[in-house]
Structure 1
């Protein structure tokens, strides 16, 4: 009830309320016929005055049952000692638990929270009606994460309490990918320079939320320095050690602590307790010394026999009568609106009574922990403490886990500025680890008051959320909460904020402009509906009519010298093949079907092989014809009409064999190309073997090169008789087109690659038509006088 300071003894009236809560619980239990019938509970109360030495003395005194402490000896016969309630401080409880654990005496603390007491090896008989600090620290971390504060500072006392808090809170925060901006420790003897450095850290940090694990007395100098430096905009999260501190609730701290949110031990009410407290007087209450101290402290009077027992005794002249009424007094003694420690003592007493009741109901034949209830061993009762379950007046069940801890329940309090400028601690919710709904937090957000100007929930992040379509890129050398937001790469999306990575769209889909959704890629191919495809198709169809028109012209003028002189039959085959060359371009237009992929390559390779073979045959025949006129020439046998057909057949057959081999082993097939053009599916024919394709094209180039070379060598032969010059130019144009096609096709993409190939087919075909047949057609139609045997033979003779 008292504590010693430099001024002597000071009576703490809130502690006296704790004593009365114990008395009230005992009397309530003794009046309950359903609980321990025919048995009466009693109690001893010992005041250690917060001194470790007296704590040991008191513990041994209770165990021995004598005024003289006798270790390992009990003089008490009856009634037996059932349990010990205490201490409020963890350090003292640890000391008591070391002693009581040796004898297996149940010990119930109503305010010791250290998680060190969870060690059942060292403290096998320790229980408590207040949650362990481990629950509180995990809860504080969850509270921070609940408000999405991912960048917080930590302040803690430099002792076991603070070190454990830092360890657990950091683990829980990091586990959820939040971060600790800084960690600082405070002590009771902080020098001014150290306080200034800590405040500078808080001030300069971008973390707007600070978790403080300390008692109010240690925080006060730090808050004073913050006021001095005008540090604002920081929202504190309070541990239970200072969450309802009266010391820090003064008006001068309101600019800093307004909006503070934190944990406090669960508060409750005890029905009838208010009236019970107010009816006591110095003549009807055990502990006359304590009640007289209460009277002197409350009414400012003195009992003559107790002179100099209180701090202000020398200044008091009024005598106490003992008839004064407590009902009109409002102080810490009879304030029962939010009972915490007193309710925990009340709970502890009911737990002891229920354990004794369960023990008294056991059957010796079926239970190992049974004996005469008037004479039992401590370890027998300990068994029932471990399994006890009590339903209290607030409808909560109290029981202990394997570490002796009750279900963790905390009040969430919010510091709000009252009309007088002082701070009020308003309950805004609870933290209940056994909430049946599964939501451990129960918050009334409408009643929350923050220290911000617009009363919005404070924000405390190192980097703001990355929107959809972006991903987080961690800053080098910084915590994971500090990052840059970078847009997703091409072809990737992210559909949630703060995405760690972007996801590739399926092969047939592409991101939208926001890069948060995938939509089907458009399909591209050279179609007849496309303007380019339609133009090429029309050009191909029209162009195919030109060789056929020339063919008809040749038929009409087949007996003329200019037609007969240039091998009428081979020219007709060449014209037909050129018409097919133009039409082969149509196979490259339209949706690539498997059959069309085979047709386009076969048609292209064979008709062009036939075309170039005809030109080669014409070139060789022209050379043979002139060389065979020399006396004794052995080439006369190669000037027969069958030779050109043999050349055409052999050259075309070689191309046919190459195509059949290609299509048999590596047949072309349609494929969806997603790499050619980002965001578009190009439907194209895969040649399956680039080697085979270039072999086919190279063979055409070989035939054309041979024709060009032979024609070039024969260019000095008589112009009117042979067409070596025309063949030279046609093959030169043909080769130029296809040589240009190679780099152009490699640089083009999608349908333009096919368009380039169609253009090369049409252009090379037109080159042959123009160079080989346009001059002849001009003579036939517009210069018929030159289309005579005399003109041709005369000029030839002149040349000769």
Structure 2
């Protein structure tokens, strides 16, 4: 005879044993002695586990294929939700009658496996003891994660999931509904304390904050409950998760209803089950919108008919049936202790059970506590043992002489030999549910997410609105149809439960000092940064070539800025440059046309031609600064500008020295006579330009200018510019040109009073004064501007200084040539005309 033990636990857990051979049910004397206690703690909520176990055993025994003509028997014990009684029953099973560990009489049939217990606290005690013997234990209700530790509990398995699985599901529900500010209530037992602690850790990982966490007292304390509910009432939290068993839950909801709190969303872990709180219509308004996690329990084919066929007169071995009958039909059984007189006296107030009542007349619904689908976990546990026995039988029949320890003789084997077979079972139950155990001895579970809905017409219902699959990928584990949910006060929109409103794109969260991370202020992103997500913890910088929009919610391509021909400013400077070049070319043509006139010949004709050509190039070189900077233009623009201007000033210097030499050489004894002629101007130009040529050559050889996209000068813009390469070389170029101009100005200023009608020195003095004024103003203006305006300042300085030289040196000569030809005579130039007139 092989026994199967069932620890039945609710307000009454119990224990069972199943036998191969003839089917029988044994009740211990210990049970009979404690019948009074059993009746006190009996609840129809847990009798379904007994019914499911009996149905599974009966179904297995009627199918000869399962155990190859062997049958199962069972023994039940009640632990009555007490750890000490669970331990006592376990010791009895291991010690037979005398409660002596490891002692048993010959002929005693050991139970092959143990089903139960339901409470985690009882299962812990049992598992520690049974684990020593590797005794198979399958719990149908214990959810404590610790029981999955195979080092401590090597023989413990369960047909339900642990707390952690449901905790992950609840956390994902919070994220799905964007609830970040919640409250937690926990009952003062292993379910409440362990579950809420695991939940706290998981919520913290997902950035969800807990506004308050309260532990409900084990015994009803009106003052404590009043304080907890008052705290709930004043809190801004809209979502409250209640990790509690029914014992603590009913008083809580009574107090919540009493204080008329109906604006909260209650999240019910599976421990609520189909709780009695849903029976009480006064609670319906309070519970409206409740979201509950319930284990996906498919309907067991034939189970309902089996339950409906139960009649006390035909089932004599089930001592719970009479208690169940009294609870279901609200009647009392007539016993021998009750006299006929007593019956007549109580007939008006008491209904007695006849045994002919039918369970078919009971209108079952999801709100009632005797929903037998909840017992599928017990049904699966019995079948797991049956399938493991089946595999053991096949192993034994194939190789009786095998030395493999996994195989054993079905008529005489120790229960620990069955453990590996139970761990390896994998089958589909009659309801189409896949049954197997993972490496921790847990069975992967699907939870249905249900919504309690209360309507104004006084009716209510619970509907499935989603599910959570523990074995699915993280992004597919939870699915919810929010449109099907009816929230509190009949709202269809998901209520908000946050400490602070979300920060939109363009803002970042700034945590308030001393408060939870979910309480924050929204700070706009600083310049150059953006956030494109809601509730960003920090703003991010855009790539170098991009810039945030005005809303700072995304990055867009930066505007490239340079002095362009397409914009009015750049086009105007280009037009002025070209027009000035054309004017210079016209003056050059005039000088060629009238080259034989005294005015042209008077002051070194060749130097005038060269200077006009250089001024023409000066005007044109400003065009190198307009347009998008390129490698070639950047390399030559500054060098071309500096070299051409240096040559121009050198020509003017040569003119000045020529005038001085010419007047000094009039003295017969002067040593300057040998410098009269073309060799002096050429030598001056070469010597004055040589220094600039050396500077520019060294500049181009070492650190030449190059194009650069400057992203730091102006926010939101890329300044396309020519980087000098070497600031020292650029400064030396400008400094040398300025030094040469000052020297030329000084010489011209000293020679301004030389006796001559058309004194070239005076004109040169004015031109150098204009030149120096322009470039002296250029330096501070250049340094105080950025981007294209810096380039524009330099172009303007080039055009202005070139125009100053052109106008001051050549405009008076053109005036005489074109408008006053009578003065373009040798006499007038030498001053003899004035003498004759006198």
Question: Within 1, Cα distance between the matches of 2:169 and 2:287?
Answer: 20
- Does structure 1 residue 142 correspond to structure 2 residue 172? yes
C-alpha displacement of 1:296: 4.4
Mapped contact 1:113–1:133 kept (Cα < 8 A): yes
Mapped contact 1:302–1:313 kept (Cα < 8 A): no
Q: 1:790 to 1:161 in 2, by over 3 A?
A: same
Question: Within 1, Cα distance between the matches of 2:715 and 2:357?
Answer: 92
- TM-score when scaled to structure 2? 0.85
Spell out, residue by residue over 1:434-484, the C-alpha distance to the aligned partner (whole angstroms, 9 max, x if none): 359983334444542211543112222334444444444444554443444
Mapped contact 1:80–1:375 kept (Cα < 8 A): no
Question: Within 2, Cα distance between the matches of 1:210 and 1:471?
Answer: 28
The 5 A counterparts of 1:47-196 are 47-66=78-97, 69-75=99-105, 77-189=107-219, 194-195=224-225
Mapped contact 2:285–2:454 kept (Cα < 8 A): no
Question: Within 2, Cα distance between the matches of 1:333 and 1:739?
Answer: 95
The 5 A counterparts of 1:319-718 are 320-330=353-363, 338-362=371-395, 363-364=399-400, 365=402, 367-417=404-454, 421=458, 424-435=461-472, 439-555=476-592, 562-628=599-665, 633-718=670-755
- Does structure 1 residue 305 correspond to structure 2 residue 305? no
Spell out, residue by residue over 1:700-758, the C-alpha distance to the aligned partner (whole angstroms, 9 max, x if none): 11111001122223334336353333222211110111122222223333333332222
Mapped contact 2:471–2:477 kept (Cα < 8 A): yes
Mapped contact 2:424–2:436 kept (Cα < 8 A): yes
Spell out, residue by residue over 1:570-600, the C-alpha distance to the aligned partner (whole angstroms, 9 max, x if none): 2333233222222222333344443333443
Q: 1:199 to 1:726 in 2, by over 3 A?
A: farther
Question: Within 2, Cα distance between the matches of 1:419 and 1:63?
Answer: 58
Question: Within 1, Cα distance between the matches of 2:449 and 2:820?
Answer: 110
C-alpha displacement of 1:84: 1.9
- Does structure 1 residue 22 correspond to structure 2 residue 22? no
Question: Within 1, Cα distance between the matches of 2:793 and 2:351?
Answer: 116
Q: 1:463 to 1:758 in 2, by over 3 A?
A: same
Question: Within 1, Cα distance between the matches of 2:319 and 2:365?
Answer: 19
C-alpha displacement of 1:34: 0.3
C-alpha displacement of 1:246: 0.9
Secondary structure of 1:706's match?
A: helix
Q: Tell me what 1:727 maps to.
A: 764
Question: Within 2, Cα distance between the matches of 1:272 and 1:539?
Answer: 102
The 5 A counterparts of 1:191-270 are 194-195=224-225, 197-199=227-229, 201-227=231-257, 229-247=259-277, 249-270=279-300
C-alpha displacement of 1:511: 4.4
Question: Within 1, Cα distance between the matches of 2:724 and 2:577?
Answer: 23
Q: Tell me what 2:4 maps to.
A: none
Question: Within 1, Cα distance between the matches of 2:49 and 2:366?
Answer: 9
Secondary structure of 2:759's match?
A: coil
Question: Within 1, Cα distance between the matches of 2:450 and 2:608?
Answer: 104
Q: After the TM superposition, which of the residue ranges 1-10 and 247-256 deviates more from structure 2? A: 1-10
Mapped contact 1:250–1:422 kept (Cα < 8 A): no
Q: 1:737 to 1:490 in 2, by over 3 A?
A: same
C-alpha displacement of 1:695: 1.7
Mapped contact 2:144–2:194 kept (Cα < 8 A): no
Question: Within 2, Cα distance between the matches of 1:123 and 1:779?
Answer: 119
Mapped contact 2:558–2:718 kept (Cα < 8 A): yes
Secondary structure of 2:64's match?
A: coil
Q: 1:58 to 1:677 in 2, by over 3 A?
A: closer
Out of 26, 31, 36, the position equivalent to 2:62 is: 31
Secondary structure of 1:184's match?
A: strand
Q: After the TM superposition, which of the residue ranges 774-783 and 167-176 deviates more from structure 2? A: 774-783
C-alpha displacement of 1:612: 0.6
Out of 1, 12, 28, the position equivalent to 2:43 is: 12
Secondary structure of 2:372's match?
A: coil
Question: Within 1, Cα distance between the matches of 2:38 and 2:107?
Answer: 42
Mapped contact 1:670–1:684 kept (Cα < 8 A): yes
Spell out, residue by residue over 1:13-68, the C-alpha distance to the aligned partner (whole angstroms, 9 max, x if none): 344443232222211111101011221211111234444444333333333444x5
Secondary structure of 1:583's match?
A: helix
Q: 1:570 to 1:335 in 2, by over 3 A?
A: closer
Q: 1:503 to 1:97 in 2, by over 3 A?
A: closer
C-alpha displacement of 1:606: 2.5
Question: Within 2, Cα distance between the matches of 1:598 and 1:565?
Answer: 40
Question: Within 2, Cα distance between the matches of 1:72 and 1:187?
Answer: 40
Mapped contact 2:774–2:797 kept (Cα < 8 A): yes
Q: Which runs of 5+ in 2 are unaligned?
A: 1-9, 13-34
Query: How many residues are paired up?
Result: 794
Question: Within 2, Cα distance between the matches of 1:320 and 1:154?
Answer: 44
Q: After the TM superposition, which of the residue ranges 315-324 and 53-62 deviates more from structure 2? A: 315-324
Secondary structure of 2:443's match?
A: coil
Out of 288, 312, 319, the position equivalent to 1:282 is: 312
Secondary structure of 1:211's match?
A: strand
C-alpha displacement of 1:767: 1.0
Q: Tell me what 1:750 maps to.
A: 787
Mapped contact 1:432–1:440 kept (Cα < 8 A): yes
Q: 1:671 to 1:333 in 2, by over 3 A?
A: closer
Q: CA RMSD for the aligned pairs?
A: 3.6
C-alpha displacement of 1:224: 4.8
Q: 1:607 to 1:35 in 2, by over 3 A?
A: same
Q: After the TM superposition, which of the residue ranges 98-107 and 524-533 deviates more from structure 2? A: 524-533
Spell out, residue by residue over 1:588-623, the C-alpha distance to the aligned partner (whole angstroms, 9 max, x if none): 334444333344334322221121112112223333
Q: Which runs of 5+ in 1 are unaligned?
A: none
